[in-house]
Amino acid sequence: MLTVRRHPDVRSFLARAEPWLLEAEIERAGPLQSARQARVDDSRYQKPTYWATIENGDQIVGCAYRTPPYRVGVTALPQTAFAPLVLDLEAVYQERVSGFSGVDPAASALADLWIARHGGSSSIVSRQFLFLLGTAEPVAASPAGALRPAAQRDAALAKEWGDAAAAESGLAPLDGDLCVRLIDVGQLLVWDDGAARCILGLLHNTPRAAALAIVYTPPAARRKGYARRAVAALNEQLAERGVAKRYFLVDPGSRAAQALARRLGAELVHASVDIDFTWAGR
């Protein structure tokens, strides 16, 4: 029988859940990163925060968390967890949550259940697909160039292209400021054939797993194969470094990004969604 085990603070949550979260650190990145940030400093969040594991006997099968005023976040969950999780959240917040985010169909089902119980309406803010890149193949010879780490001399370009990428995708957090910060940690890369043609941004990069989230080619350089070759080169480099799990986060609204993922042999792992609530007169 499934149980919702609510933890009194983030440290006790991580003591219980961190090994399970690390088994799939990209698929479960939301609760893992939020909990680690809260463990360092939770003073910026409204109280109470919420940290729960969903368990079948002594096995964790999912997690839910909230750092108010932000949405309730969830991992993948079994359908039988939806009703007890909503009841436990109501015990903490009554009807006052701002929305749900995380892996579908769990996040969407929980949002629908919440609205059915409390009224109001919901709206999808963003969606994302998580693909797993396949076996790295040798990089084709064309187009010319090579993948290199971005340097500080690329900061102005990173800012301009990152802002353009965010505007096109509608994913505001993946903007030029983020791209500039990624330079400092070695997670922004440039395809260069004598001039920069394409940028790639890694949001996660550990010895076990990496996640590519930003791919941008300016309009004048499109349809020449730069993005395909750059992502293939990155996949090959990560594989050579021993990174076993190599992911590609894709905006579902971008047919080009989805086509690129499939041309590279990527496999869809899951979809995720961000959902906000509104209430008339509140």
Pairing of strands 245-250, 121-132: antiparallel
Q: What are phi and psi of 184, to 5 degrees?
A: -65, -25
141 and 242 part of one domain? yes
Domains in the chain: how many in total? 2
Tokens standing for residue 79: 């359908």
Read off the DSSP letter of residue 4: E
172 and 260 part of one domain? yes
User: Residue 145's pLDDT is what?
Assistant: 92
Any residues with CB less than 8 A from the CB of 106 and at least 6 apart, and which? 62, 74, 75, 76, 77, 81, 82
Question: Is there a contact between 191 and 226 (Cβ–Cβ < 8 Å)?
Answer: yes
210 and 228 part of one domain? yes
121 and 43 part of one domain? yes
User: Residue 140's pLDDT is what?
Assistant: 67
Instruction: Determine the structural domain holding residue 231 and report its residue range.
Output: 134-265
The whole-angstrom separation of Cα 241 and Cα 46 is: 41
105 and 155 part of one domain? no
140 and 78 part of one domain? no
CB-neighbour burial class of residue 193 (10 A; exposed 0-12, middle 13-18, buried 19+): middle
70 and 189 part of one domain? no
81 and 161 part of one domain? no
CATH number of domain containing 227 = 3.40.630.30
Q: What are phi and psi of 32, to 5 degrees?
A: -65, -50
145: region left, alpha or beta (phi > 0 left; psi from -120 to 50 alpha): left
Tokens standing for residue 56: 């079948």
User: Residue 264's pLDDT is what?
Assistant: 85
DSSP 61-108: EEEEEE-TTSPEEE----GGGHHHHHHHHHHHHTT---EEEEETTHHH
User: Residue 172's pLDDT is what?
Assistant: 78
111 and 139 part of one domain? no
70 and 93 part of one domain? yes
121 and 138 part of one domain? no
- pLDDT < 50 positions in the chain: none
CATH number of domain containing 23 = 3.40.630
Which pLDDT tens digit goes with each residue over 195-246? 999 999 999 898 999 999 999 999 999 999 999 999 999 999 999 999 999 9
140 and 233 part of one domain? yes
